[in-house]
Structure 1
Amino acid sequence: MNVKIFLINLDRSTERLEKAAQQLNRLNVPFERVSAVDGSKLTGAEIDAAFDTEQAERRTAYNLTIGEIGCYLSHVECWRRIITDKLDFAIILEDDLVLDDQFPHAISAIEQFTHSNEWDYIKLANPFKKRPYQTRTALDRFTLVDYPKAPTGTVAQAVSFQGAETLLSHRPPFFRAIDVDLQWEWELGIKVQGLVPYVANVSDAESEIQQMAQRKDLKQRRWTKLKESIKFKLKKASHR
């Protein structure tokens, strides 16, 4: 099976790369570093091509920070590599991660599942607000689960060839942060699932995205946020 592990890492974040590499090497997991898109170095034209300001102002609580735009584009690059390299799937990691010793076994479980099943996107972490899930399929020592609403955070996930192809047919341009966008899975044409117990978490270090710009400092469109929350619940119910 053709599988790769991609580690997203900013060129200037050498310490993060070292810490992430130490964990992967300890677990004997080979990886390929993907140079992250530095949002602070994007030109106005590049931002305009990637970020749909009109949709953001109409449908989100705030416009994305430059760090969030760079983060989304870094994942887009990984999706493109899945297609270019003709991978069955890839594990996409961000460098502020903490890996569980069961991480290699999770990769093996997904490989086994892929032999006889189609899937799009599997979350390997739920680092922030804990999200409930429904049990779906037992995979060795893991369980594949469905979510009423997918967890936020993109520190670790598996993306199939089919999933990458579908995602790239819809994005970019984008207007939400990537983890929020994935919650609106019907708009992206994919199904987001999870593998539990989770095998990754985020470190205590402040993320590069937070260092570039703070989401909490942005002006919030509270009425838009409320409308979209109601819309999400109605749309999610109709797609179950």
Structure 2
Amino acid sequence: MTIPCYYINLDRSTDRDAAFRAECARVGIEPVRVPAVDGRALPEDVVAAMGPRTSGEYGVGYGEIGCFLSHVRLWEMVVAQAQDWAFVSEDDIHFASNAAEFLRSSDWLPADADLVKAETVFQRVLMDKRPATSAFGHGLFRLCSAHGGTAGYFVSRRGAQKLLDQTSAACDPVDQLMFNPRLGIAGDLSIWQLEPAICVQDYLVTASDRHSGVESMVNAAPRLFHPEGGRSAKPKGFERRVMGPLRKLAGLAERLVTNTVTSRKFRKVPVEIDGVRFVAAGKAGTP
């Protein structure tokens, strides 16, 4: 059974819609557009009601609220239409040349998976050193740490229902809700990672001819609800001068110990676009 490819696109973003459709045509994918929720068009009382639903860990603005509600809309579609699996995409990604193979059947997907992350944002993530299985030349690893981004992921009907249940009283950046165990949701989901990834957001491939200057609309929007001491709060004074470097050293030590003495490893997930293998934002090479 084929897996539908849904993509989120604002009605006013006709240029992004055209660019994404062209990208899908390039690799042989037939996408289905789902109108995005425009955070700026929401009634102010709806926006204000989201404030108490935030965790305080991250800044949240119109962009984050609209993006969160757009993904909720898609999860509801997957559940309502009783689809076993769906691929969810945002409208600013580039695909690997073999991406369409992953949509022709769901047979390759792990039986216990709720989510399979198909993109990379090039942050260091914790995974087993060896894949549990593989599909079309890509390894499938259990994702054991946070990995930002919601620009491309496979979601099962069971996973969509879990997400709806567990985010019914939440409103944070949707990628953190889905893929960061700190917020208490990802730990209850079976999440896998494709390596190499099969898609990446446009702003991360600035060294490639594929880059078209499409920026993240979420990141460009101002924040309405600001964290107080959360992860995205700007560090000050002693926190910036002393604790920041100490945390970096602690993270380095954790990665070194984990990579050396356990069966898992922190590493960046690469992606290949038009024959160029990216291992970091705008950088090609060997991971």
1:93 aligns with 2:89: yes
Residue in structure 2 matched with residue 178 of structure 1 by the alignment: 174
Equivalent-residue separation in structure 2 for 1:60 and 1:128 (angstroms) = 25
Residue in structure 2 matched with residue 229 of structure 1 by the alignment: none
Equivalent-residue separation in structure 2 for 1:209 and 1:192 (angstroms) = 24
Decide whether the 8 Å contact of 1:126 with 1:201 is kept in 2: yes
Q: How does 1:145-156 map to 2 (within 5 A)?
A: 145-156=141-152
Percent of paired sites with the same residue: 24
Equivalent-residue separation in structure 1 for 2:70 and 2:139 (angstroms) = 28
The 3 A distance-change label for structure 1 pair 148 and 101 is same
Amino acid paired to 2:228: R
Equivalent-residue separation in structure 1 for 2:126 and 2:218 (angstroms) = 26
Unaligned runs of 5+ in 1: 227-240
More strand by share: 2
Amino acid paired to 1:96: D
Residue in structure 2 matched with residue 113 of structure 1 by the alignment: 108
Residue in structure 2 matched with residue 235 of structure 1 by the alignment: none
Decide whether the 8 Å contact of 2:90 with 2:152 is kept in 1: yes
Equivalent-residue separation in structure 2 for 1:101 and 1:180 (angstroms) = 28
Equivalent-residue separation in structure 1 for 2:77 and 2:127 (angstroms) = 30
Amino acid paired to 1:221: E
CA RMSD, Structure 1 to Structure 2 (Å): 2.6
1:221 aligns with 2:228: yes
Equivalent-residue separation in structure 1 for 2:197 and 2:218 (angstroms) = 23
TM-score after normalising by structure 2: 0.69
Equivalent-residue separation in structure 2 for 1:177 and 1:66 (angstroms) = 11
3-state DSSP class of the match of 2:175? helix
Equivalent-residue separation in structure 1 for 2:103 and 2:137 (angstroms) = 12
2:117 to 115, 123, 136: 123
Equivalent-residue separation in structure 2 for 1:20 and 1:164 (angstroms) = 24
The 3 A distance-change label for structure 1 pair 63 and 219 is closer
1:161 to 145, 157, 160: 157
Amino acid paired to 1:187: I
More helix by share: 1
Residue 55 of structure 1 and its aligned partner are, at CA, apart by: 5.0
Decide whether the 8 Å contact of 1:128 with 1:153 is kept in 2: no
Shifted more, 123-132 versus 154-163: the winner is 123-132
Unaligned runs of 5+ in 2: 204-213, 233-287
Corresponding residue pairs, total:
219
Residue in structure 1 matched with residue 220 of structure 2 by the alignment: 211
Equivalent-residue separation in structure 1 for 2:39 and 2:72 (angstroms) = 14
3-state DSSP class of the match of 1:133? strand
Residue 220 of structure 1 and its aligned partner are, at CA, apart by: 4.4
Amino acid paired to 2:107: Q
The 3 A distance-change label for structure 1 pair 21 and 169 is same
The 3 A distance-change label for structure 1 pair 150 and 136 is farther
The 3 A distance-change label for structure 1 pair 99 and 2 is closer
**Larger CA Rg, structure 1 vs 2:** 2
User: Displaced runs of 4+ in structure 1, greater than 3 A?
Assistant: none
Equivalent-residue separation in structure 1 for 2:67 and 2:3 (angstroms) = 22
